[in-house]
Structure 1
Amino acid sequence: MSIHDDKALADAAIPPEEEALSLQRRSLFGLGLAGAAVGAAAGLLAAPAVAQAQTVAKSKLYTIKERGKLIVGTGSTNPPWHFQDASGKLVGMDIDLARLLAKGLFDDYEKVEFVLQGSDARIPSLVTDKVDIVVQWMTVTAGRAQQVDFTIPYYREGVGLLMLARGGKYKNYEELKAAGKDVSIGGMQNVFLEEWIHKALPGAKVDAFESPDAAMQALNARRIDASMQDQSAMRWLMQQAPGRFVDAGFGWMPNSYASAVKPGDPTWLNWVNTVYKEAMMGVDFDYFAASYKKWFGIELPIPKVGFPQEFA
């Protein structure tokens, strides 16, 4: 979960009763043997083509194809995931993935409508059919998985320590840890900040700031020794200011980012998963790898040719 996302933090703390499954799914086989007998008597089993057509027609995949555009819920203020560039165009890793889905549907990266929303609107917009899919740095949790269907993950997030590349008292995580209580670590204020920092640096002094920008200003002014940031944000900042910042070399608190769809539509979910998987391992790898390089500075290894390595 992003440490820059207050709504996500609140979402993670939803009481169990509010995380309860809100939509009851009906199994195609839920009627059991007695139900099957009744269906056969009614002639349902004698018309498999009609039954199959009715099932297929219910999938959002075919609704989207008929509509002629994909509707995606996302954000606009969180680089490198979703933000507006200098020209006002919406860009970022999430945006690249949404456009890849549009390309797969219509052979046109532009046939996508973005619905800009806060983190707290991600699940409501799905279950009310305001959007077809949410592509908005959404952390996979057991609670959320009771309300939406997650795709396969496309990024493994975590937190780390961003330091100045030059002029600081410490050079890496090992030196920060060895310094104990003499180290000062900053981060955006929230109820978990001290706990999170002390997972990596038990003796460190914790300085809370009202925003990530304020923490970065403190780092630049050398009032703190390091700033705790999302790993993706750290990579983005190092991309934007080459040679100024450095990763301390230790990441912790892993969590997975995935897209989400409304529950109960395996055809739509399977199609999205197919697009994502082949972006990571197959025909669209070059597109996916270029996005990883652009937004995170990560060079992805080319998938090995031959036996599919994901099944090795």
Structure 2
Amino acid sequence: MNKTFKKITALFATTLLAASLTACNDKEAHKANRIEQIQQAGQIRIGVFSDKPPFGYIDNQGKSQGFDVEIAKAIGKDLLGDESKVEYVLVEAANRVEYLQSNKVDIILANFTVTPTRKEVVDFAKPYMQVALGVVSKDGEITDIKQLEGKTLLVNKGTTADAYFSKNYPNIKLLKFEQNTETFEALRDGRGDALAHDNTLLFAWAKDNPQFSVGIKHLGDQDFIAPAVKKGDTELLNWLNAEIEKLGQQGVLKQAYDKTLFPIYGDTVNEKDILITY
């Protein structure tokens, strides 16, 4: 009885070990074949904004356009041989991490600012833009953070502006919205005294809304915007790092800037203050 039991136990342990090794090998094979899987599927899903012109927005024909979209097209062409093989998944600031973690997208290109907190939950590739926070208000009357005391500041949930003011200025009242369109509409309607966001976006928005001006042009640290992939998606991350560097060196990023951002900024913004070209 004891010998039989020992044989059964040994056989069971061997089976478990074999199953465990197979699972590990399958997992490693999955990671190793990530690029091949995307190529075999013939499509890459890239998260972009629908309401943040000139970076990501929907045009009158219902198509995604903007600076981030131009980069996505280049990625699709280089990875799959055809820019039309990109599936644009519309995201909001607050759900970008969740969309990566739940495999709803392969890459996030939705103006994603690199922060220590975000680096804990996603993997960022090399950056293609640099950015800081800014504050826009009616006639640019808010020129100092102290002026926001006792006033209402509009921000988008899950953005660096939300995190920055929540952490550093808890006494300033924040009114938060999910979508950019809601936030800027609230400023136009007078539901807030000022709006904090990426200065690159604010410069463009203020040009189209001349009754408003960016009174605080640079706030906090100089940050970087980069593509992001799911944590541990190493092969795709390595490919993306090489791709962003190549797009900068070959002038593709500058072409995207000239097509989508320069018509908005003109000479009011220095390209070198925004674009990273390697």
Equivalents in 2 of 1:64, 1:190: separation in Å? 32
Give unpaired runs (5+ residues) of structure 1: 1-50, 303-308
Could you report, residue by residue, the CA deviation over 1:23-81 in whole angstroms, capped at 9, with x for unpaired residues? xxxxxxxxxxxxxxxxxxxxxxxxxxxx9xx9698232222222222111333233333
CA contact (8 A) 2:155 2:195 kept: no
Match of 1:215? 187
Match of 1:250? 217
Could you report, residue by residue, the CA deviation over 1:151-177 in whole angstroms, capped at 9, with x for unpaired residues? 122333332232455xx7x5x83xx58
How large is the Cα RMSD of the aligned pairs?
4.2
Cα deviation, residue 295, structure 1: 5.7
TM-score normalised by length of structure 2: 0.65
Check if 1:81 corresponds to 2:55. yes
CA contact (8 A) 1:161 1:227 kept: yes
**Alignment partner of 2:261 out of 252, 272, 292:** 292
CA contact (8 A) 2:247 2:253 kept: yes
Flag the 1:284–1:229 CA change in 2: closer, same or farther, 3 A: closer
Aligned letter for 2:205? Answer: L
Match of 1:188? 154
- What is the aligned residue count? 236
Cα deviation, residue 252, structure 1: 0.7
Flag the 1:181–1:125 CA change in 2: closer, same or farther, 3 A: closer
CA contact (8 A) 2:153 2:174 kept: yes
CA contact (8 A) 2:46 2:89 kept: yes
TM-score normalised by length of structure 1: 0.59
- Report matched runs for 1:236-275 at 5 Å: 236-241=204-209, 243-248=210-215, 250-254=217-221, 255-275=223-243
Equivalents in 2 of 1:120, 1:205: separation in Å? 21
Match of 1:110? 84
Which moved further from structure 2: 152-161 or 116-125?
Answer: 116-125
CA contact (8 A) 2:31 2:234 kept: no
Flag the 1:270–1:238 CA change in 2: closer, same or farther, 3 A: same
Cα deviation, residue 101, structure 1: 0.7
Aligned letter for 1:215? Answer: L
CA contact (8 A) 1:292 1:300 kept: no
Cα deviation, residue 112, structure 1: 0.5
Percent same amino acid at aligned positions?
A: 23
Match of 1:36? none
CA contact (8 A) 1:279 1:288 kept: no
CA contact (8 A) 1:73 1:136 kept: yes
Match of 2:244? 276
CA contact (8 A) 1:161 1:250 kept: yes
Cα deviation, residue 188, structure 1: 1.4
Equivalents in 2 of 1:106, 1:69: separation in Å? 7
Cα deviation, residue 122, structure 1: 2.9
Flag the 1:295–1:72 CA change in 2: closer, same or farther, 3 A: farther
Flag the 1:146–1:197 CA change in 2: closer, same or farther, 3 A: closer
Larger helix percent? 2
Secondary structure class of the residue paired with 2:54 = coil
